[in-house]
Amino acid sequence: MNLSRLTLLFAALAGGQILFCVIIYYLLQSGRFSMQEADLENLGAVPPIALAGSVLAAFGLSRALSRQGRSADGIPAKMQVYSRAVIVRLALVEGGNLLILVVTLLTGDLSNLYYFVAGMAAFAWLRPGKDNFVQTFTLDNKEQRGLDNL
């Protein structure tokens, strides 16, 4: 998988999360969605835990895969490790964000959207790119020139 495909994947995942957020916001603001009184008070702890857990897991796993990729020989092998790392870290953060949105829908508490915004900021920060690839694998000038073919 090359950098342009990773960027497209990033944009698709980000767009899906934002669309889901807009739909939930619309449903809650329009009054078209309502839950019966249920024991939802324990769900208040889920958004901060989901945010912290997914972001920490994404960074930890990304570092582990990056260490593995530094020992790989050649740009194609490093790109394969980088692609896996990007997909996994984006999926982890997206999972946390979607969980936050579901809790927002169930509880009707729009203040949970602040956690979603923080999660989207982390998601944006983890976006794939040439500079990120170079920094992650500390490529030399010769290897950097080889990236132009990707």
Print the domain residue range for 111: 3-25+46-138
pLDDT of 5 above 90: no
pLDDT at 34: 67
Q: What angle do CA 6, 79, 140 make, to 5 degrees?
A: 120
pLDDT of 35 above 80: no
pLDDT bracket for residue 96 (50, 70, 90): very high
Q: Is residue 32 part of a domain?
A: no
Alpha helix ranges (H) inside the chain:
3-30, 46-70, 75-107, 113-125, 130-137, 141-146
Q: Is residue 87 part of a domain?
A: yes
Give the chain's domain count: 1
- Based on the number of CB atoms within 10 Å of its own CB, is 123 exposed (0-12), middle (13-18) or buried (19 or more)? buried
Percentage of the chain modeled with pLDDT above 70: 90
pLDDT tens per residue across span 57-93: 988 887 887 787 777 788 888 888 888 888 988 999 9
CB 97 within 8 A of CB 54: yes
